[in-house]
Chain A
Amino acid sequence: MGGTTWVYIFLGIYIIYCFYWGLKGYFTEKTSAGYAIAGRSIPFFAFLMAATAASFSGWTFIGHPGLIWRDGLAYAFASFYVLTIPITGTFFSKRTWLLGKRYGFITPGDMYAYYFNTEAVRWLAVLTAFLYSMFYSAVQLMASAALFHYVAGVPVTWGAIFMAFIVWFYVCTGGLKASTWVGVIQFILLVGGIILLGAYVLAQMGGWSSFSAEIAKLGPRQLEVPRVINWGLGGAKGETGWTAVMCLTYMFALMGIQSSPAFTMWTFGIKSPKPLAWQQAFMSTFVVGFALFYFTAFQGMGAKVLQLQGVINFAKDSDVVPLLMTTYLPGFALGLVFMGAIAAIHSTAAPYIGTGGSILLRDVYWRYIRKQEASHSEQIWVNRILATVVTIAALAVGLTSKAALVILGALATAFGFVMYVMLVGVIWGFRYPSIGATLGVLAGMVAVFLTYYVWPNPLSMHSAFWGTFAGLAVAYLCRGLGIKDKEETVQRQNEVRAFLDDIDEPSESGKQWRKIMKIVVPVWYFFAIGPACILGNNAFSISGFPPLWSWQIVWWILGIVMMWALCFKAEMATTTAVQIDRAEKETMIVVKEA
């Protein structure tokens, strides 16, 4: 059988699986929270895999190898997002879950608005969620359509509509539970697909010895970080933009994925916070890291070698994965890897479309249009309509405005990182007045826009850094100016702080580990992906990997140890049975469900 036939066979099986979970959810979820956050009942393994799949989008699958091909190993530092995406979860998720349980928050807007006692922050969260849902999903859907076109010859417009329809169907019928269960299979396909394609490329190169010898012939542009910092806008002339500080601040942007409203909302949905540490330390950092540091890099570096040998000519970075797939994969493997790419794309689009609809429902329709008076069934139906609106909007933007799409899709993650301004306040008690939080987030968004679009990457640092830097600066400036909160806000915040400090107090050994980790984590950031990563240009070489690649592998392995220490030993992501029991009982619901 030919490759296209296998593509359609796998696609058929996948669609049946997606529709099964969608319809199952349709007939079982009867409450608003049941639909929007799966009745806080997402089980351990499902969350472990689905949250990992959602974190790593289709861009990981298709865009990442393409950029390694274009910019070389300096760009491959981006693979460290296997650690920096979940580390945001390590910082915030457990406490977010505890707060969701106690106060009955459904959307991140509920949490921010309650803590800062102002509705302005709710609207900022809604705006971020909307940007994320629409533009990030649009990027994903268009990527799936482009791949479908490449592999099976389906016109891009029809491919986009078809791919959007599959996601729309299972999200709208089954809600978050369906997204999660489809996410499980998507995780397996995503990781399996990356490994399979990378393995084929390695075999194509005649094994590691000859591949390694070919890589060694590449120039410094492919094998080195150009400099620590560039005192200007973007990279220096004639070099890639991947200075050491760009590698670092680009990771900040990706840290925005798990601080985005969608992920905060998902955290409210999990049954127990038990899977968090396992998802962060092992599923993301180890499993996805294993796929990216070896197999994705094989694809990107392999493509470069193949091009220099005159075997395949890649015109642009987005051609790399589709061309490798159609050139080297036999029928069955092509079907499987194609499904891996589609799964990667859907696994990200689905939760963003789903949570985007839910946030619009709860924070706008239910709260402001219906004045908190709508039945469960009305909420579920409006939620479905809003998710449909988000899907159609994403599709419309994707099909009409490619330039805006790229800009706004990239802005989304940086905006997610700006949410740190609110999260460090709510979760860890960083003190600034409510007006500081509001103006801080606003200033952060403006700074992101300016440093992305108007003056791109000042000092060769990513807009995500400038956004959160500006956000925190403004928040603390408001405090410095002596702006005070209302008494009600102060009391409310003190009550939240007392609850969190009491229920989430680490054990004696946990406190010791936290002390150590306060030094270890910055040191890891500094050497692995920060200014000192330039040392990797010629530090050491292992097993035939060029020095920079060896540096990345070693710091990745150390990163697994660091995440284990941070999540488990420092108790940043673990919970005890007593904590969970207390969270179940000590409720003080402040958000009406229906």
Chain B
Amino acid sequence: MRIMKKEDVWMIVLVGFSILWTAAFGIGIFG
């Protein structure tokens, strides 16, 4: 049985990406 559906995985990936992306500004990746 699949634990998570495709859309659940996508949500986690996209929200995770958004958080990391925002954090990247704070740690100086973009200068």
Docked-complex contact B26 and A568, CB < 8 angstroms = no
Interface residues on A, range: 20 to 34
Contacts of B28 in A (CB 8 A): 208-209
Q: Do A544 and B25 touch (CB < 8 A)? A: yes
- CB within 8 A of B31: which of A210, A278, A557, A567? A210
Contact of A560 with B18 at beta-carbon distance under 8 Å, contacts A209-B31, A282-B10 already known = yes
Residues of B contacting A277 in the complex (Cβ-Cβ under 8 angstroms): 7
Do A560 and B15 touch (CB < 8 A)? yes
- The reply to whether B11 and A561 form a contact with Cβ atoms under 8 Å apart is yes
Find out whether the CB atom of B18 lies under 8 angstroms from the CB atom of A544: no
Known: A543-B25, A543-B26. A560 touches B14 (CB 8 A): yes
Closest B residue to A556 by beta carbon equals B18
Per-residue contact bits, chain A 163-200, to B (CB 8 Å; 1 contact, 0 not): 00000000000000000000000000000000000000
> In the assembled complex, which residues on chain B have CB atoms less than 8 Å from the CB atom of A556?
18
How far does the Cβ of A214 sit from chain B's closest Cβ, in whole Å? 13
Whether A557 lies near B25 (C-beta < 8 A) is: no
Point out which of B15, B19, B31 has the most chain A C-beta atoms below 10 A from its C-beta. Answer: B31
Contact A208-B7, Cβ < 8 Å, known A290-B18, A543-B25: no
Question: Interface on chain B toward A: helix, strand, loop, or mixed SS?
Answer: helix
Assuming the contacts A208-B30, A282-B14, A286-B14, asked whether A553 and B7 have C-beta atoms less than 8 A apart, the reply is no
* Distance between Cα atoms of A282 and B8 in the complex (Å): 11
Which 9 pairs across A and B sit closest by C-beta, in order of nearness? A207-B31, A543-B26, A543-B25, A208-B30, A564-B11, A568-B7, A286-B14, A557-B18, A208-B25
> Which single member of B7, B19, B30, B31 contacts A564 (CB below 8 Å)?
B7
Name the interface residues of A195-221: CB closer than 8 Å to any CB of B.
202, 206-210, 212
Which B residues lie within 8 Å of A207 (CB)?
Answer: 30-31
Residue A281 lies at the interface, judged by CB distance under 8 Å to chain B: yes
Q: Chain A residues near B22 (CB, 8 Å)?
A: 542-543, 545, 553, 557
Q: Which residues on B sit within 8 Å (CB–CB) of A282?
A: 10, 14
Chain A hits for B11, CB < 8 A: 281, 560-561, 564
Q: Which residues on the B side are within 8 Å of A210 (C-beta)?
A: 31
Identify A206's interface contact among B10, B27, B31, CB under 8 A.
B31
Give CA–CA (A568, B8) in the complex, Å: 9
Q: Please, how many angstroms separate the alpha-carbon atoms of A290 and B15 in the complex?
A: 11
List of A residues within 8 angstroms of B24 by Cβ: 543
Identify the closest chain A residue to B27 (Cβ).
A543
- Known pairs A209-B28, A544-B26, A561-B15; list 6 more (Cβ under 8 Å): A542-B22, A542-B26, A545-B25, A553-B22, A560-B18, A564-B11
CA distance A202 to B25 in the complex (A): 11
Tell me which residues across on chain B come within 8 A of A286, comparing CB atoms: 14, 18
Q: Name A558's closest neighbour in chain B (CB-CB).
A: B15
CA–CA, A208 and B26, complex, Å: 9
Cα distance, A560 to B7, chains bound together (Å): 12
CA distance A282 to B25 in the complex (A): 23
A534-554 interface (Cβ within 8 A of B): 542-545, 553
Some 21 contacts from A to B, beta carbons below 8 A apart, are: A206-B31, A207-B30, A208-B25, A208-B30, A209-B31, A277-B7, A278-B7, A282-B10, A286-B14, A542-B22, A543-B23, A543-B25, A543-B26, A557-B15, A560-B18, A561-B11, A564-B10, A567-B7, A568-B5, A568-B7, A568-B8
Q: Which of B23, B24, B30 has the most CB of A within 10 A?
A: B30
Contacts of B18 in A (CB 8 A): 286, 290, 553, 556-557, 560
Nearest chain B CB to A570 CB, angstrom units: 12
A62, chain B: closest CB distance, angstroms: 25
B10 nearest CB neighbor, chain A only:
A282
Q: How far is the CA of A553 from the CA of B20 in the complex (A)?
A: 12
Could you say which residues of chain A place their CB within 8 Å of the CB of B30?
202, 207-208
CB-defined contacts of B23 to chain A, threshold 8 Å: 543
Bound Cα distance from A568 to B30, whole angstroms: 35
B21 CB, min distance to chain A CBs, angstroms: 8
Alpha-carbon distance A215/B18, docked complex (angstroms): 22
How far is B30's CA from A553's CA once the two chains are assembled, in angstroms?
17
A561 to B14 Cα, complex, angstroms:
9
Of all chain B residues, the one with the shortest Cβ separation from A564 is B11
Whether A208 pairs with B31 at a CB distance below 8 angstroms is yes
Bound state CA distance, A564 and B11, in angstroms? 7
B18–chain A nearest beta-carbon distance, Å: 5
B contact residues around A567 at 8 Å (CB): 7
Chain B hits for A206, CB < 8 A = 31
Task: Closest B residue to A202 by CB, please name it.
Answer: B30
A287-331 at interface with B (beta carbon < 8 Å): 290, 294
Contact with B along A369-402 (1 / 0, CB 8 A): 0000000000000000000000000000000000
B19 to chain A, nearest CB (A): 7
Bound complex: CA of A210 vs CA of B21, how far in Å?
18
Given the complex, which residues of A lie within 8 Å of B7, measured CB to CB? 277-278, 281, 564, 567-568
- A residues 513-547 in Cβ contact with B at 8 Å: 542-545
Residue of A nearest to B7 (CB): A568
